[in-house]
Amino acid sequence: MTDKNQLTQDELNYKLTEYNNSVKFWTNNQLGYSINLFTTIGISFLSYIVSIMLDYF
């Protein structure tokens, strides 16, 4: 008797392949993530500086 929540061997192999592909994708795109993060932080910081300068002038 098999459990309803248990995966078959084909489904398990598919999920494992899918997981491995996602790990490769995100590992290869780590630089892109870092650039996006630092760009967002930089724009936020510049916006903050401009808002402070507008208060003084």
Q: Is residue 13 part of a domain?
A: no
Average pLDDT, the chain: 84
What is the pLDDT averaged over residues 1-26?
Answer: 81
Task: Give Cα separations from 21 to 14, 17, 33, 48, 52 (angstroms).
Answer: 11, 6, 17, 40, 46
Higher pLDDT, 13 or 27: 13
pLDDT at 17: 92
Stated length of the chain: 57
pTM of the model: 0.47
Q: Is residue 7 part of a domain?
A: no
Q: Is residue 19 part of a domain?
A: no
Which domain range does residue 53 map to? Answer: 24-57
Give me the number of domains the chain comprises: 1
Q: Is the pLDDT of residue 1 over 60?
A: no
